[in-house]
Amino acid sequence: MSIQIQAIQQVFHKHVVLDNLNLTIEPNKIYGLLGRNGAGKSTLLNIISNRIQPTSGRVEIDGESVHDNDRALGKLFLMSEVDLYSERSKVAQLFKLTAQFYGDFDFDYAARLAKAFGLDTNARFGKLSTGYRSIFKLILALCVPVNYVFLDEPVLGLDANHRDLFYQELIETYSERPRTFVISTHLIEEIANLIEHVFVLDNHHIVVNGEVSDILAKAYLISGPQTDVQQYTDGLNVIGEDHLGSITAEYVYGALDNNRPIPDTVQIEHLDLQKLFVSLTNTKEASGNHEH
């Protein structure tokens, strides 16, 4: 039981968006899928859910290809930025429509969530603000009877209170009915404590694939006078640096050298996930301004 992403290649207009991507998504786990704007996260999610065809490669759910396979596709739900819903339909009607496609739907939970978020289920989809469109789609995502839920920018336009509420509801529903969530977001620090495993997509490749705790254990911020810091980090995997007055901070990703003495003037701390991400992906500008 898992989703297997096998040798996925995606080329748009001679531009390589995803290059030989291989990933395994396991049951009952919360993942973060991180990447710069234009890194190809949405493309990957659209391939997994059969909304677009990859140039080559294959996606399997529990051993079956997703390609035009409704049975396999019925096991996943993709909440995306794209609005697939009729502007004139009412929220409550769209709940029913979703129930028809998936064969079931947790109407009680949807009603509780709508109340908690202040979503009027009699409102027409087209009349909802950006934030409330996200809330509507989040409710669908939490109430469908699937084992794999993909959330692309789930909190776009949500205020801080609603973001908090969503993170709490996610933890609660996950502990009541364990299933897989893959969350793609730019608000990395806010999900750092929610996710167990992280994928970082950069420059058409997966550059980080591991447990969050393992990754943060080897992400360091080393600060002090420039010469002392540079002497200490010489030969280590320095992924970025910042300066503040006479103090230099270098970011290191990977093992430190335990045999090397730490100068008294040098401080070593752990990096947070957002800072690690920014440093790892800051080397070049994302190449595309456009949506795919």
DSSP secondary structure, 206-274, as one string: EEEEEEHHHHHHTEEEEEEEHHHHHHHHTTS-EEEEEEETTEEEEEEES---TTSPPPTT-EEEEPPHH
Using the contact rule CB under 8 A, the part of the chain among 48-56, 93-101, 254-262, 280-288 near a copy of itself is 280-288
- Among 75, 137, 163, 197, indicate the residue that binds a copy of itself (CB under 8 A): 163
What angle separates helix 107-117 from helix 160-176, to the nearest 10 degrees? 160
Q: Is position 206 an interface residue for a copy of itself (rule: CB under 8 A)?
A: no
| Size (the chain), residues | 292
**Judged by CB, which is closer to a copy of itself: 49, or 184?**
184
Task: Tell me how far, at minimum, the Cβ of 199 lies from a copy of itself, in Å.
Answer: 15
Task: Please report whether residue 137 would count as binding a copy of itself according to CB under 8 A.
Answer: no
241 binds a copy of itself (CB under 8 A): no
For residues 192 and 256, which CB has a smaller minimum distance to a copy of itself in the complex?
Answer: 192
75 close to 147: Cβ distance less than 8 angstroms? yes
Indicate the residue among 27 and 157 with the shorter CB distance to a copy of itself: 157
Q: Does the protein bind a copy of itself through residue 274 (CB under 8 A)?
A: yes
Q: Which residues make up the interface to a copy of itself (CB under 8 A)?
A: 35-38, 81, 117-120, 123, 127-132, 153, 156-164, 186-188, 274, 277-278, 281-282, 285-287, 289-291
